[in-house]
């Protein structure tokens, strides 16, 4: 039959399931703490000594909720850092494409340049609003991501990079912006997942 | 109120030297005269947060004949952060003491 400490550790692992590595690390550390606390109890060894150690430690779900909130903050910081990097690289890549097309004498569709430019402007505007007032908003980040993806796709269509034999100075920034927008999508999805997990833990702590 | 200062309290508890979670919480209880009676588990999110911020570092150690423990210690950045938080706290507490203790009259 599982002891009080073992039951508590199982509950902690379950509540920290959003981060298996952290769950493993913390469960080991907390086990060490609880066993030491129980052994310091006058009634050791007994289930009461274990129970008192667990009671002094606090609810597993509250600890998991705090760790989940910290994880959301870290994920949000990473996501915003990626937003800034993607905006800068997209702007540089766009300018390089435009300069190259001007040298060639651009003869692309009328729609692609407009989407390229205004989707980027929309992404910058949404990012600015999000940064100033709603840093935890996945919706704004998703809109910003959509704007950047549309701008990059339109830029690719506008320049027909590979078909037109673009130079490395144009292809390389295009590859980097493509990779960054993928990374941003991954971070935005991760932030959304972490926010959902934190909200679920908060609901059950209350 | 205490939770807002928990990170600084943990950093201060580690100033004396490396320690594991249980020893840190015991040190906080002892040094505060049992005034700070937080749930002991509260310390672990703080330790993890401070480590992620580069203010602490940790490693598993097993003393001879003892239990394997994760030992935390201050990094250089942690020592600097503690000094900065101490200065900020001194300034804040002096101001509050003045207001509450009647050190100086209120502006007329």
Per-residue pLDDT tens for A113-146? 788 888 899 988 988 988 888 877 888 899 899 9
Q: Name every chain B residue with its beta carbon within 8 A of the beta carbon of A74.
A: 52
Is position B106 within any domain? no
Task: Return d(Cα B47, Cα B73) in angstroms, integer.
Answer: 10
Question: Domain range for residue B35?
Answer: 3-101
Q: What percent of chain A has pLDDT over 70?
A: 93
Number of Cβ pairs < 8 A linking chain A and chain B: 56
Q: What is the predicted pLDDT for the residue at B102?
A: 63
The ipTM is 0.80
The whole model's pTM is what?
0.76
More confident residue, A104 or B68: B68
Q: Write down the pLDDT at residue B29.
A: 86
Assigned domain for B108 exists: no
Tens of pLDDT, residues A75-91? 899 999 999 999 999 99
Provide the pLDDT for residue A30: 94
- Give Cα separations from A180 to A89, A187, A195 (angstroms): 8, 10, 22
Identify whether B35 is part of a domain: yes
The reported pLDDT for the residue numbered B44 is 95
Instruction: For residue B2, report the phi and psi dihedrals to the nearest 5 degrees.
Output: -60, -40
Mean pLDDT value across residues A38-61: 90
Measured in angstroms, the CA of A119 and the nearest CA of chain B are apart by: 35
Say what the pLDDT of residue A33 is.
Answer: 93
> What residue ranges do the domains of chain A occupy?
4-58, 72-205
Q: What is the pLDDT of residues B94-107, one digit of tens each?
A: 998 888 876 555 55
Judge whether B14 lies within some domain: yes
Q: What is the pLDDT of residue A112?
A: 77
Q: Which residue numbers in chain B have pLDDT < 50?
A: 108
Which tokens in the block code for residue B44?
Answer: 């672990």
- A205 to chain B, any CB pair closer than 8 A? The answer is no
Residues in Cβ contact with B49 at an 8 Å cutoff, skipping those fewer than 6 apart: A70, B7
CATH number at residue B18: 1.10.10.10
pLDDT in the model for residue B47: 95
Could you give the number of structural domains in chain B?
Answer: 1
Q: Which helix (H) or strand (E) holds B56?
A: strand B56-61
Closest CA to A28 of B19, B20, B42, B6: B20
- Give the model's confidence band at A55: pLDDT under 50 very low, under 70 low, under 90 confident, else very high: very high
Residue B59 host element (H or E): strand B56-61
Is the CB of B68 less than 8 angstroms away from the CB of A36?
no
Q: How far is the alpha carbon of A12 from chain B, nearest alpha carbon, in Å?
A: 11
Test the A interface: residue of B7, B19, B20, B44 with most A CBs within 10 Å: B44
Does residue B93 lie within any of the structural domains? yes
């Amino acid at each position: 039959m599982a002891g009080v400490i073992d039951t508590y550790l199982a509950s902690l692992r379950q509540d920290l399931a959003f981060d298996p590595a952290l769950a493993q690390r913390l469960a080991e550390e907390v086990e060490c703490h609880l066993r030491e606390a129980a052994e310091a109890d006058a009634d050791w060894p007994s289930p009461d000594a274990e129970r008192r150690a667990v009671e002094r430690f606090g609810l597993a779900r509250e600890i998991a909720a705090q760790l989940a909130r910290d994880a959301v903050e870290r994920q949000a910081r990473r996501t915003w850092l990626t937003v800034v990097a993607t905006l800068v690289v997209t702007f540089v890549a766009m300018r390089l494409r435009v300069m190259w097309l001007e040298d060639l004498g651009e003869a692309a569709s009328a729609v692609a340049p407009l989407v390229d430019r205004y989707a980027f402007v929309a992404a910058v505007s949404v990012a600015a609003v999000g940064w100033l007032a709603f840093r935890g908003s996945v919706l704004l980040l998703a809109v910003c991501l959509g704007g950047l993806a549309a701008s990059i796709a339109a830029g690719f269509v506008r320049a027909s990079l590979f078909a037109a034999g673009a130079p490395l100075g144009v292809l390389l920034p295009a590859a980097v912006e493509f990779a960054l927008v993928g990374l941003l999508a991954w971070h935005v999805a991760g932030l959304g997942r972490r926010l959902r997990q934190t909200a679920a833990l908060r609901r059950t702590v209350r | 109120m205490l939770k807002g200062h928990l990170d600084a309290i943990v950093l201060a508890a580690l100033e004396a030297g490396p320690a594991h979670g249980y020893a840190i919480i015991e040190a906080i209880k002892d040094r505060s005269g049992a005034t700070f009676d937080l749930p002991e588990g509260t310390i672990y999110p703080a330790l993890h947060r401070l480590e992620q911020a580069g203010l602490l570092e940790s490693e598993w150690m097993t003393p001879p004949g003892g239990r394997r423990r994760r030992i935390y210690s201050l990094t250089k950045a942690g020592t600097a952060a503690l000094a900065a938080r101490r200065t900020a706290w001194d300034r804040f507490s002096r101001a509050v003491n003045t207001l509450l203790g009647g050190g100086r009259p209120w502006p007329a």
